[in-house]
């Protein structure tokens, strides 16, 4: 009897987690869309600009909404954006394009729940959140986000 109850509970729990993770990207995509639509309402700070790189911070008062970086390096245009809500990251997107051919080299999306990486899509493939690759990326992003927060404060 207990086996069946546990099996049902585990199935429901897995289904609930799966449903939340599937719903999350659409909800966060709406927040990203809202930021893009209201970008003109934010204060724009060009933190750095030269012939190879541009770093822009969009914020309201002291609350960052978007950090955007464009970097031209080794024949590659690198675009990275970090989106924030209430001071916490909720989404990032990275796109690398070969300058000569226009070919997409790398495309990644990362979704965060309360500032914690919850879903990572690399070149169209969901990376298993229990894989060493996901955990390595998560560790790397934690350190990077800590540096990034210092960058815009």
List, for residues 128-142, the tens digit of each pLDDT value. Answer: 999 999 999 999 888
Number of independent structural domains in the chain: 1
Asked if the structure places residue 132 within a domain, the reply is: yes
Assess if residue 13 is contained within a domain.
no
3 state SS of 100: coil
53 in a structural domain: yes
Q: Which pLDDT tens digit goes with each residue over 97-117?
A: 999 999 999 999 999 988 889
Alpha helix segments (H runs only) across the chain: 2-37, 132-152
47: CB partners within 8 A, 6+ apart: 55, 56, 57, 151, 152
Q: 25 is written with which tokens?
A: 């990207």
Express each pLDDT in 3-61 by its tens digit: 554 444 344 344 434 444 444 566 667 888 999 999 999 999 998 899 999 999 999 88
Residue 3 is assigned to a structural domain of this protein: no
Domain that holds residue 121: 24-152
Looking at residue 24, its pLDDT comes to: 59
Token representation of residue 143? 């350190």
On whether residue 30 sits in a domain, the answer given is yes
Q: Report angle CA 149, 127, 141 to the nearest 5 degrees.
A: 15
The CA radius of gyration of the chain, in Å to the nearest whole number, is 18
Residue 15 counted as domain residue: no
pTM across the whole model: 0.78
């Amino acid at each position: 009897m207990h086996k069946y109850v546990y099996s049902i509970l585990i199935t429901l729990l897995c289904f609930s987690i799966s449903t939340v993770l599937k719903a999350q990207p659409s909800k966060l995509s709406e927040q990203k869309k809202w930021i893009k639509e209201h970008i003109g309402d934010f204060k724009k700070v060009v933190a750095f600009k030269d012939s190879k790189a541009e770093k822009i911070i969009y914020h309201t008062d002291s609350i960052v909404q978007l950090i955007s970086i464009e970097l031209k390096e080794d024949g590659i245009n690198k675009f990275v954006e970090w989106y924030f809500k209430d001071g916490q990251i909720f989404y990032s997107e990275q796109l690398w394009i070969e300058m000569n051919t226009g070919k997409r080299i790398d495309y990644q999306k990362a979704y965060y729940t309360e500032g914690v990486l919850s879903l990572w899509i690399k070149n169209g493939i969901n990376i298993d959140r229990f894989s060493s690759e996901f955990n390595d990326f998560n560790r790397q992003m934690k350190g990077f986000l800590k540096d990034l927060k210092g960058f815009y404060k």
